Amino acid sequence: MSQFWSEVVNRLTPYVPGEQPKITNLVKLNTNENPYPPSPAVLEAIHHETHANLRLYPDPNSSRLKQAIADYHQLNLDQVFVGNGSDEVLALVFQALLKHDKPLLYPDITYSFYPVYCGLYDIEAELIPLAEDFSIRIEDYRRPNGGIIFPNPNAPTGCLLPLTAVEQLLQMHPESVVVVDEAYIDFGGESAISLVSQYPNLLVIQTLSKSRSLAGLRVGFAVGQADLIDALERVKNSFNSYPLDRLAVAGATAAFADDAYFRDTCSKVIASRESLASSLTQLGFEVLPSAANFIFARHPQRDAVQLAASLREKGIIVRHFKLPRIDQFLRISIGTEEECSALVTELTRILHS
Ligand code: PMP
């Protein structure tokens, strides 16, 4: 392979998504989906849209959904951007806002899509090591940069950066765009959306894939002041990216209207997380504090790859990352109560055999 070509290939190292197995009777705790179905109101809205309007093209601006998000979060319509999953929103954010003559800062252990986008869009990055306890230490971000991005809670650790610290970061770098990727914020964190009106350098990204059980629909959004949102719209339109389809707009809009269901689902996931964390601790695992719908844990005496393989033999799949510092951890998505119990039963058997 020529040097030119190998450089291109290195730059385009693709993201490896979590497995979506063909076998259906597995206890699937590997990709942080919600174990509960979407609200019945969502299913009804999709059903209605299918019958009434599927022959029509979608609204290129997804205005109904943007309005629902704006109303829900008390924002103006021009402060909301929507995309096909937050991965598409992130891709456009990297293209529109994060290419700079100074490096983009993000934690060394974080969502593995960020390095992929940096490679794809030729963005220089500086990785800031997490603290000993895996938390983000904002003092370490006091350095020249062309933007900052991090998930809050972080992935795959689940650790939360308090809102006061997010605000300090915004004040530390008023000239930099600070992107807070809140894919998991509804499971115990306080969203930075409340800071949007005060900080023109803040962009918050959320998804309907996790807390609203709609991973299959592909809906994510960004909120920020109108200038940042306008930049995203310009890039999306320049690339002639696809608008959200009619079913996505109808389902996602309905999801924001059923707040009681959303709160109830989040509470159930949080309760299961706390109970699973305590069961794993009793089994000897070191469990990082999680504010997400997954747990990141390691067993001091057992190899993580072997544990994952033994669980898999019993039809339970969890996620393992072959990366420095975290290769002895397992990331376990929170399932239903029954799924969590099945996991604990199997782990108990493995550890005592
Ligand atoms: N951000 C983080 C931190 C994630 O873990 C994920 C899910 N893998 C996403 C964004 C993307 O989610 P989606 O594209 O389903 O909205």
Mutate which of 111, 114, 117, 219 for ligand 1 pocket (most atoms within 8 A of beta carbon): 111
pLDDT value at residue 28: 95
- CA 66 to CA 189: how far, in whole Å? 23
SS3 call for 68: helix
Residue of minimum CA distance from atom 8 in ligand 1? 31
Q: Could you give all domains of the chain from N- to C-terminal order, each with its CATH number?
A: 20-36+260-352 (3.90.1150.10), 40-257 (3.40.640.10)
Tell me if 1 sits within 8 A of 110, measured CB to CB: no
- Report phi then psi at 120, rounded to 5: -60, -40
Compare 2 and 120 and report the one with higher pLDDT. Answer: 120
Other CB atoms within 10 Å distance of the CB of residue 311: 21
Q: What is the DSSP letter of 137?
A: -
Mutate to test the pocket of ligand 1, among 16, 87, 181, 296 (most ligand atoms within 8 A of CB): 87
- Per-residue pLDDT reduced to its tens digit, 84-120: 999 999 999 999 999 899 999 999 999 999 999 999 9
Of 91, 90, 67, 49, the C-alpha closest to 245 is 49
User: What is the predicted pLDDT for the residue at 248?
Assistant: 98
pLDDT digits (tens, 9 = 90+) for 286-323: 999 999 999 999 999 999 999 999 999 999 999 999 99
- Cα–ligand 1 centroid distance for 87 (angstroms): 6
Asked if 334 contacts 340 with a C-beta cutoff of 8 angstroms, the reply is yes
Residue, of 12 and 211, whose pLDDT is higher: 211
Q: Whose CA is nearest to atom 12 of ligand 1?
A: 86
Q: What is the mean pLDDT of residues 232-261?
A: 93
Percent of the chain with pLDDT over 70: 99
Residue 22 has pLDDT above 90, yes or no: no
Q: What is the mean pLDDT of residues 45-60?
A: 97
The answer to whether residue 239 scores a pLDDT higher than 90 is: no
Q: How confident is the model at residue 238 (pLDDT cuts 50, 70, 90)?
A: confident
Residue ID of nearest Cα to ligand 1 atom 7: 183
Q: How buried is residue 312: exposed, middle or buried, by Cβ count under 10 Å (0-12/13-18/19+)?
A: middle
Give the integer Cα–Cα distance in Å for 194 and 207. Answer: 17
Q: What is the distance in A from the centroid of ligand 1 to the CA of 183?
A: 6
**Residue 23: pLDDT over 80:** no
ipTM of the complex: 0.99
Q: What confidence score (pLDDT) does residue 14 get?
A: 67
**If DSSP codes are grouped into helix, strand and coil, which group holds residue 134?**
coil
Summarised one tens digit per residue, pLDDT across range 156-214 is 999 999 999 999 999 999 999 999 999 999 999 999 999 999 999 999 999 999 999 99
154 in contact with ligand 1, CB cutoff 6 A = no
Q: Does 207 contact ligand 1 (Cβ within 6 A)?
A: yes
For residue 220, give the ligand 1 atom closest to its CA: 16
Per residue in 332-349, pLDDT (tens digit) is 999 999 999 999 999 999
Q: How far apart are CA 82 and CA 64, in angstroms?
A: 11
Tokens of 50: 């299918």
- For residue 63, the CA-to-ligand 1 centroid distance in Å is 23
CA-90 nearest atom, ligand 1:
10
Answer positive or negative: Cα dihedral of 90, 96, 99, 105: negative
Encoded amino acid at 151, one letter: P
Burial class (CB in 10 A: 0-12, 13-18, 19+), 10: exposed
Enter the tokens of residue 333.
Answer: 């998505």
Which residues are within 8 A (CB) of 284 and not within 5 positions of it... i.e. 6 or more apart? 299, 300, 301, 351
- Nearest 5°: the CA angle 89, 93, 98 is 160
Q: Pick from 179, 57, 27: which is nearest to 113 by CA?
A: 179
- Residue 158 Cβ < 6 Å to ligand 1: no
17 pLDDT band (50/70/90 cuts)? Answer: confident
Q: What are residue 244's phi and psi, to 5 degrees?
A: -65, 145
Q: What is the pLDDT of residue 352?
A: 93
The tens digit of pLDDT for each residue in 314-329 reads 999 999 999 999 999 9
Q: Closest ligand 1 atom, CA of 31?
A: 8
Q: What is the model's pLDDT at position 210?
A: 98
Span from the CA of 52 to the centroid of ligand 1 (angstroms): 31
CA of 351 to the centre of ligand 1 (A): 32
- Say if ligand 1 is within 6 A of residue 183 CB: yes
Q: Pick the residue whose CA is nearest to atom 1 on ligand 1.
A: 183
Percentage of the chain lying above the pLDDT 90 cut = 90
Which amino acid is residue 253, in one-letter code? T
Q: What is the pTM of this model?
A: 0.95
pLDDT of 26 over the 80 cut: yes
Can you tell me which atom of ligand 1 is nearest the CA of 87? 14
To the nearest whole number, what is the mean pLDDT of the chain? 95
88 lines ligand 1 (CB under 6 A): no
Q: Which helix (H) or strand (E) holds 208?
A: none
